[in-house]
């Protein structure tokens, strides 16, 4: 079965443009207090993972991803959540007059 997803699932490992680290996605749609915006993904360094309570998550958007090294687990619950996240993003874009994806 082929899935059509808007967001990468938790557990995916990615590389960003101009960044040599591999990052493990641990969350989606997180608010960046520094920039006062919502970012698509929150990640930690791979393979270490979360090692310190003082460690800040690495926040980034989908367009920042250069390569997907590993695609995380997907089941029915993940597909339902992805649909909800995509719908919330669409509503946010519509509220701000931006219809781009």
Q: How many residues does the chain have?
A: 101
Q: For residue 34, what pLDDT is reported?
A: 85
Instruction: Report pTM.
Output: 0.81
Identify the pLDDT of residue 101. Answer: 42
Task: Give CA–CA dist 99/101, Å, rounded.
Answer: 7
Regions in the chain scoring below 70 on pLDDT? 1-4, 96-101
Mean pLDDT of the chain: 88
CB 48 within 8 A of CB 25: no
């Amino acid at each position: 079965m082929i899935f059509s997803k808007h967001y990468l699932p938790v557990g995916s490992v990615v590389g960003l443009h101009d960044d040599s680290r591999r990052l493990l996605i641990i969350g989606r749609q997180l608010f960046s207090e520094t920039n006062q915006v919502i970012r698509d993904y929150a990640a930690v360094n791979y393979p270490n993972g979360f090692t310190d309570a003082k460690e800040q998550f690495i926040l980034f958007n989908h367009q920042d991803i250069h390569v997907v090294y590993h695609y995380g687990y997907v089941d029915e619950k993940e597909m339902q959540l992805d649909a909800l996240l995509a719908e919330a993003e669409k509503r946010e874009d519509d509220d701000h007059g931006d219809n781009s994806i």
